[in-house]
A = this chain, B = another copy of it.
Amino acid sequence: MLKNSEFVSKLRNSGLRPTKQRLKICEVLFNRDKTFHFTINDLAKNISKNFNEKISLATIYNTVHAFKDKGYLKEITISSDKSYFDTNITKHHHFYDEDTNLLIDCNDNEIGKVNIKNNITGKKISSVEVLVRVASDNQNQN
């Protein structure tokens, strides 16, 4: 549980002014003990539930992208109709529950290291991500 002043320095250190909107968003995103996987819509709903003052949707988009650019959030692509973000910025993989639309972090003990034997010539690997889609037994297979 970080406190407000820590968010202020975190923001200042990355060249972002610690506005009250950004601090509220920090609270929602980073004042939790578990990883938070969210869509912009999830975040917007969470904010309007937990605070009296509302933050404009444009600001939520701006802030999430700023935090992503500064490396405080990762973007996870699972579906082409909305973007997911992740407060866990370490390299890790995901289970995606197709029934609940929830992302779950994989620990290293759940998915072994991915062995990439050959890379494209002249290119550098910028990320390696495994997505394991899961569903109840009575679901369609892939």
Contact = CB atoms under 8 A, between A and B. Distances in A.
Interface of A: 74-75, 77-83, 95, 97-99, 104, 109-112, 114-120, 122-137, 139-142
A87 to B, nearest CB: 16
Nearest to A118: B110
A82 B81 CA distance: 8
Given A97-B120, A111-B114, A117-B112, A134 B125 contact: yes
B120 A115 contact: no
Q: Which 9 A-B pairs have the closest CB atoms?
A: A112-B115, A123-B134, A127-B142, A80-B83, A110-B118, A127-B133, A126-B133, A126-B142, A124-B137
A124 B98 CA distance: 10
A98 B126 contact: yes
Contacts of A116: 110-111, 132
A124 B136 contact: yes
Contacts of A141: 126
B122 A111 contact: no
